[in-house]
Structure 1
Amino acid sequence: MAMIKVDNLAVAYGHGQNALKVVKDVSFEVAKGETFGLVGESGCGKSTVLGALAGRNKTWSGSVVIDGEAANPKRTKSQLAKQQMVFQDPFGSIHPRHTIGRTLLEPLEIHGLDRRQERIEEVLRDVGLPHNFRYRFPHQLSGGQRQRVAIARALILKPRILLLDEPTSALDVSIQAEILNLLKDLREREHLTYVLVSHDMAVIAHLCDRVAVMQDGVFVEVTTRENLLKGEVAHPYTQTLLDGSRGYVPARQRRGLQSVGHA
């Protein structure tokens, strides 16, 4: 059974003739323990899909099933706890005047969970931060440390799914690999399922098992990590994204390389 099953998901803003359809009847499944990527240029609809899955966007139509349970636009507490979101900007997603401990305590209070101090220490350890970081404020942490806190906040409710919205794009390149490797380790250790939004093909190839390529609100191709690494893709837009990730190659030079390859 799929952990996530989406059929004919559509998201529009506005009404009637003025409605802007941002996501246009996309369908996909994500297996338990899989990382499924959504990649495409800004404005293609990938973050809107993530927002509908998370319950943040309530104006969608279609069918969403999470762990065998139908998810309506208005979610129950248990449904919200089952999947948690990690945002792009660790500077804006954490309250600047709350200590890290207070930030991690809040979801535990909302959901009425016990062993709160133990859970806070445990989740800090899980993301590689010392337990005394609970007394620090966000401005006392580096960007990478803040993103670790954001991941800890998502993990503290013991979700089965993490929804990752460009989780490394606001970080220095030297820190991105650390966060990606942390996410990879957590997925394997906690048996998590991920949906990852990114515009960076290198990030997608590092973490994802399969990827849906989005353009103008639709999936133009769904392919595997292996096919991406080999460059064996079917749609011209996917090839354009791959070329962009490797650096620009003029069309004339690309044709010349192809003719040499066939000689």
Structure 2
Amino acid sequence: MITVDHLAVSYGHPNRPTRVVDDVSFDVGANETFGLIGESGCGKSTILGALAGRNKQWTGRITIDGQMIGAKRSHEQLALQQMVFQDPFGSLHPRHTIGRILLEPLEIHGINDRQNRVETVLRDVGLPVNFRYRFPHQLSGGQRQRVAIARALILKPRILLLDEPTSALDVSIQAEILNLLKDLRKRENLTYILVSHDMAVVAHLCDRVAVMQNGIFVETVTKKQIIDGTVTHSYTKVLMDGSRGYVPKTPIATYRSPVDIAG
């Protein structure tokens, strides 16, 4: 579904560019969830931006569903993949109702049967249809993120680009959103690329995970390797240790990650 060859992204002055992503290559199969994990600033979200068309200053080759894409894309190419952002409040217009937010992509792409699509997609993400008359500030963080997922789904894409979609939520709500995404992928035959800094989250949702450091891939591992602890690169081991959280010598409580809660 996705092929990326020798992707490089630089920012700053043309004479003194800063290389953010350096010669990255990977493939993602249809209906697969591919994870990108690493510390803040390593280039994970920059890769998503290049795939989504938000970042046009890249070199290399990107192929989506058999089509080579460039900086300028058609409406059909843009609709093929949609993004879900980290902050479920900042990504929704505060003065628009949920219905207005969901109608906007349909209007931009000239798609009919709009009211029916809005009602259907709200049900798909587990929200009542009458939520279309509410504003974002009237919803909880988890409900807002469900709206953000609904907005991404309303164009019926084949790919979702997930930029840390649970990191701004409470642990119990994170589990609900992770399970929703897992169910939607199976039901709608979707392909995901998930950006996260939490190894437990990507291990729960992803089939394979690329570990990024300073703009490059240091290791690509499978879900089984993460669960078994058979990763090889020292940086990957550091991320795994960090995802376990603080463990005191004398335990005072049992830490439960969103993955533990999700089961």
- Give the structure-1-normalised TM-score: 0.93
Q: Which structure: greater helix fraction? A: 1
Q: Do structure 1's residue 30 and structure 2's residue 13 form an aligned pair?
A: no
Give the Cα separation in 2 of the matches to 1:246 and 1:14. Answer: 36
Q: What one-letter code is carried by the residue in structure 2 that aligns with 1:143?
A: G
Distance in structure 1 (CA, Å) of the matches to 2:14 and 2:160 = 34
**For residue 63 of structure 1, what is the aligned residue in structure 2?**
61
Give the one of 71, 77, 80 matched to 1:79: 77
The amino acid of 1:60's aligned partner reads: W
Secondary structure, counterpart of 2:227 in structure 1: helix
Name the structure 1 match of 2:149. Answer: 151
TM-superposed CA distance for 1:191, in Å, is 0.1
Give the residue type in structure 1 aligned to 2:162. Answer: L
Q: Which runs of 5+ in 2 are unaligned?
A: 249-263
Deviation by residue 1:95-125 (Cα, 9 ceiling, x = unmatched): 0000000000000000111100000000000
For residues 182 and 247 of structure 1, the distance between their equivalents in structure 2, rounded to whole angstroms, comes to 25
Counterpart of 2:168 in structure 1: which amino acid? A
> Is 1:52 equivalent to 2:50 in the alignment?
yes
Among candidates 2, 5, 10, match of residue 4 of structure 1: 2
CA distance in 1, matches of 2:38, 2:247: 19
- Unpaired stretches in structure 1, ≥5 consecutive residues: 251-263
Q: 2:201 pairs with 200, 203, 228, which one?
A: 203
CA shift at 1:234, angstroms? 1.3
Of residues 82, 87, 97, the one that matches 2:95 is 97
Letter in 1 for 2:231: V
2:137 maps to: 139
CA distance in 2, matches of 1:159, 1:37: 19
The amino acid of 1:71's aligned partner reads: I
Code of the aligned partner of 2:126 = G
What amino acid is the match of 2:39?
E
Q: Does the CA-based 8 Å contact 1:243-1:249 persist in structure 2?
A: no
1:13 corresponds in structure 2 to 11
**Structure possessing the higher radius of gyration over alpha carbons:** 1
**Does the residue aligned with 2:211 lie in a helix, a strand or coil?**
strand
1:222-244 Cα distance to aligned partner (Å, 9 max, x none):
01011001110011100111111
- Name the aligned partner's letter for residue 163 of structure 1: L
* Partner amino acid, structure 2, of 1:233: V
CA-atom RMSD, angstroms?
Answer: 1.2
- In 2, the alpha carbon distance for the partners of 1:247 and 1:134 equals 38
4+ long deviations beyond 4 Å: none
Call closer, same or farther: CA 1:66–1:132 in 2, change over 3 Å.
Answer: same
| Aligned match of 2:258 | none
Superposed counterparts of 1:84-233, under 5 Å: 84-233=82-231
Q: Number of residue pairs matched?
A: 248
CA–CA distance in structure 2, aligned partners of residues 168 and 249 of structure 1: 23
Q: What is the TM-score normalised by the length of structure 2?
A: 0.93
